[in-house]
Each structure stands twice: as C-alpha cells, then as structure tokens.
Amino acid sequence: MQLHGAMKQLDVRGSNLSGSEFVDSNLSGCEFQQVNLSGASFNDGNLSGCDFENDNLSGATFKDVNLSGAQIENADLSGLAIAGCRMTGATIDGISVEELLAAYRSSRRSGRSGLG
C-alpha cells in the first residue's frame, strides 16, 4: 500500500503495517491505541507534548534526546541506567538529583559507606 501526497485523515484499524516507513510526515495529533511498536525506530522526530500512558517501554533506549520538562509518574524504573546526562533541575520525589549525587560523592570521598 502506498499513500503519497496530502491526506486529511487516515483511519487504520486491525491492520498489519509492520515494516512501514513514515518519512517527512506530519502525524501530530494522531492517536495510537493498542498498537505494537516493538522494534520501531524514532529518529529526528518531535514527540514534544506527547502522552505515554500504560505503555511498555522496557528495554527501550533513549540516546541524545531532550527530556527537559518531562514528567515520569508511577513508573517501574527498576534496572534503569542513566549516564552522561545533564541533570540541572531534575528531581526525584521532589529531591534535587544534583544534591543527591553531590551527597553521594561526598560520602564516598570521606569513606562513609552510606548517605544516612
């Protein structure tokens, strides 16, 4: 199936579009419900203002992304790894991540085994 050119609205249900490509396309305002996007690749896209709710992102990789102002609530972050990221203004349960890291590093330098 090929769709080229301007389209006002597309209603797709019960379809298998695996392996499809969307290039230079405006999908703003689209709604995705009960879709399988496993193995999908998003590159140079604008997902600002998107809402992810009840979605499985386990094993996902976020590299060179802008998450400034994003919110994560009621999420399973077990095994999450964060490295080489700018953390200015980031908080966990209202506590500054920068302050948490500074306290951790300070306790490591002073030889203490824990933060508390």
Using DSSP bridges, classify how beta strands 91-92 and 95-96 pair: parallel, antiparallel or unpaired. antiparallel
Residue 108 φ/ψ region, left for φ over 0, alpha for ψ in the -120 to 50 degree band, beta for the rest: alpha
CA-CA distance, 45 to 24, in Å (whole number)? Answer: 9
Domain of residue 49, residue span: 2-109
Q: Which CATH number belongs to the domain containing residue 56 in this structure?
A: 2.160.20.80
Per-chain mean pLDDT for the chain: 90
Q: Residue 112's pLDDT is what?
A: 67
For the entire predicted model, the pTM comes to 0.73
Please report whether residue 67 resides in a domain.
yes
pLDDT digits (tens, 9 = 90+) for 74-91: 999 999 999 999 999 999
Please report whether residue 69 resides in a domain.
yes
Please report whether residue 73 resides in a domain.
yes
Share of the chain above pLDDT 90, in %: 79
Neighbours of 114 (CB within 10 A): 6
96 pLDDT more than 90:
yes
Q: Which two tokens mark 84?
A: 């080489």
Q: Residue 115's pLDDT is what?
A: 60
CA-CA distance, 35 to 67, in Å (whole number)? Answer: 23
Number of structural domains the chain divides into: 1
